[in-house]
């Protein structure tokens, strides 16, 4: 009996270190992460008329609007890629990023009642939001792949199959960036609620600063192109399109810069998230 009691120790302490990311503790709750992932996905389309069909409808309608406004009216080039396919592909990767960001931007306020009643690693919630967004992205890609296969048969598109192997890495990077920024915003909105109002507006502006409705080649080699390339989301978006469509501007330097910014944002987001979770109930 004495051996059993000596093998298990529980340490309860108020000490907190900035670089204690609690990743091991979070991994022990992987079953809870899956439950939260399922809950997040189900609640998104619960009590809607069309349910998960919106995953298909939203990108299709959005791409049709982009095709008319930017393709037909504005006459923007898509580097020879069929316009509807270009916008479907761009919308898929951007929706994944924006969903990761917006869902995690309300982590504390949306889960305050649960956080205030029971303890579990709070980081399980934002991770589940990203995984839920991955599921949504995977379903949305069914439409993209169907249209891609059609244009491959007509000879209008030729994917870069070697670069397609990088798509999982691209998704990891985009998910990390969305989650990191979401955690930072969520931590700030515990005190400053009006920041949450700016998230949707800020994401919309960010989209136009990212080559979503236009190819990067459309900007030429001037200062504007350099500014857009510094945008950490630009590199993975261009690489994603380069893999699927065989067209895109892929600069190794900006890919490296993008990864550095992503890692810094992710680590800082988790750090400030763990710091705020200790006493956020006093301000929410």
Tell me how far apart the alpha carbons of residues 280 and 277 are, in angstroms, rounded to a whole number.
Answer: 5
pLDDT of residue 13: 53
Is residue 232, in this structure, part of any structural domain at all? Answer: yes
Select, from the ranges 101-105, 195-199, 217-221, the one with the highest average predicted confidence (pLDDT): 101-105
Each residue of 32-67: pLDDT tens digit? 888 888 887 777 666 556 666 777 788 888 889 998
Is residue 8, in this structure, part of any structural domain at all? Answer: no
- How many domains does the chain fold into? 1
In 3D, which of 61, 132, 133, 73 has the Cα closest to residue 98? 133
CB-based burial, 73-92: b 16+ in 10 Å, e otherwise: eeebebbebbbbbbbbbbbb
The answer to whether the beta carbons of residues 214 and 70 sit under 8 Å apart is yes
Tell me how far apart the alpha carbons of residues 265 and 258 are, in angstroms, rounded to a whole number.
Answer: 11
Read off the pLDDT band of 1 (50, 70, 90). Answer: very low
Is residue 11, in this structure, part of any structural domain at all? Answer: no
Q: What is the mean pLDDT of residues 249-257?
A: 88
Higher-pLDDT residue of 1, 203: 203
Each residue of 15-27: pLDDT tens digit? 555 556 667 777 8
Tell me how far apart the alpha carbons of residues 185 and 159 are, in angstroms, rounded to a whole number.
Answer: 36
Is residue 5, in this structure, part of any structural domain at all? Answer: no
Is residue 10, in this structure, part of any structural domain at all? Answer: no
Is residue 12, in this structure, part of any structural domain at all? Answer: no
Each residue of 62-85: pLDDT tens digit? 889 998 988 888 788 888 899 999
Instruction: Please give the residue range of the domain that contains residue 270.
Output: 19-282
Is residue 14, in this structure, part of any structural domain at all? Answer: no
Q: Give the CA angle between residues 94, 27, 2 to the nearest 5°.
A: 170
Higher-pLDDT residue of 284, 182: 182
pLDDT of residue 259: 95
Tell me how far apart the alpha carbons of residues 242 and 86 are, in angstroms, rounded to a whole number.
Answer: 11
Is residue 1, in this structure, part of any structural domain at all? Answer: no
The answer to whether the beta carbons of residues 232 and 73 sit under 8 Å apart is no
């Amino acid at each position: 009996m004495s051996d059993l009691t000596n093998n298990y120790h529980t340490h309860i302490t108020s000490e907190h270190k900035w670089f204690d990311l609690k990743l091991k503790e979070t991994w022990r709750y992987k079953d809870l992460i899956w439950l939260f992932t399922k809950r997040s996905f189900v609640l998104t389309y619960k009590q809607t008329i069309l349910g998960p069909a919106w995953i298909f409808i939203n990108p299709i309608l959005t791409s049709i609007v982009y095709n008319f406004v930017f393709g037909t009216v504005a006459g923007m080039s898509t580097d020879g890629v069929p316009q509807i396919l270009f916008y479907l592909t761009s919308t898929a990767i951007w929706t994944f990023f924006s969903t990761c960001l917006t869902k995690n931007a309300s982590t504390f306020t949306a889960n305050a009642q649960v956080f205030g009643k029971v303890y579990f690693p709070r980081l399980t919630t934002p991770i589940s939001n990203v995984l839920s967004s991955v599921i949504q992205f995977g379903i949305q890609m069914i439409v993209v792949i169907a249209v891609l296969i059609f244009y491959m048969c007509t000879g209008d598109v030729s994917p870069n199959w070697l670069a397609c192997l990088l798509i999982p890495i691209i998704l990891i990077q985009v998910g990390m960036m969305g989650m990191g920024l979401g955690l930072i915003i969520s931590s700030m909105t515990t005190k400053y609620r009006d920041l949450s109002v700016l998230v949707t507006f800020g994401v919309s502006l960010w989209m136009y600063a990212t080559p979503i409705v236009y190819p990067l080649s459309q900007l030429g080699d001037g200062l504007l192109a350099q500014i857009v390339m510094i945008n950490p989301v630009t590199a993975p978006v261009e690489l994603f399109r380069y893999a699927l469509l065989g067209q895109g501007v892929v600069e190794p330097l900006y890919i490296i810069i993008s990864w550095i910014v992503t890692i810094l944002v992710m680590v800082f987001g988790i750090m400030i998230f763990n710091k705020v979770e200790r006493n956020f109930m006093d301000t929410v």
